Amino acid sequence: MPRLRGMSYAQMKLSLAAGLVAAAFSSLSCGGATKVRVDDERLARLPAGEREALVEREREVRVAESDLTAARVAAKDAARFLDVVETERSSANQRREAARKAMELAESTQDRSMLDDSRRTLTATERQVGAANAKLAYGRDMKALRDAEVDSRVARLEAERADLELAKVDRLLDRGQGQGLERARFVDQQAEARQRQSEAEARVAELREVTRQSRIAWRSHPGADQPSAQIDETPLPPRPIEPPRE
């Protein structure tokens, strides 16, 4: 992923777009799923205490699954927000076009009062279009951020699953029950999953800064009003799933 320090805002967005395309092809090629797994039937002979330790590991997987669900909900909200903003921009363009036609009519009639009103209306609608364009840029950046957050949560889930599989292998090997298990394969799987998670989290951090900048640009635009489409910029992280009670 390219570094953003020293780049202009426009360069940042172009650089990130290229990086995200490359990441998408990378994720398609590597699959992203846990490739080597331990048959859970082999764990049945482990002492109860060691099985309970694995249950704690499984809880981390469930929390990661819950976080992924929350990220997908946020991505859907961002998509709906973008749809609303695109409609707002279309409406702003229509109002500007109507103002231009009214201006042309006023100029043809040489009605001074109508001409002054038309100029003020056209100026106002042009500001509204500029604000709508800035808001649309923010909406697109927000959508890209939320999609990247989903990718990050997927990567974290796979990393937690890889951790769990390696923990199973270690328990079995410690008890002399790991026949046929190649620990190195599970170690490699864990390392690859954690690397994908780190890269995904780095993309989220970069896109979060791009989104913050585009939000500032929108809200500081002279034609920006209070947003008619609401979306949380930094939603609270989802609460962890509580372990089942005895």
**Domains (ranges, CATH) in the chain?**
51-219 (1.10.287)
Q: Residue 227 has what pLDDT?
A: 45
Q: Are 88 and 135 in contact (CB under 8 A)?
A: yes
Q: What is this structure's pTM?
A: 0.73
pLDDT of residue 134: 94
pLDDT in tens, 119-141: 899 999 999 999 999 999 999 99
**Average pLDDT, integer, range 3-7:** 50
Exposure string for 16-28, b = 16+ CB within 10 A, e = fewer: beebbeebeeebe
pLDDT at 13: 52
Residue 70 identity (one-letter amino acid): A
Tell me what the mean pLDDT of segment 145-174 comes to: 94
Q: 120-137: string of b/e by CB count within 10 Å (b at 16+)? A: ebbeebbbbbbbbbbbbb
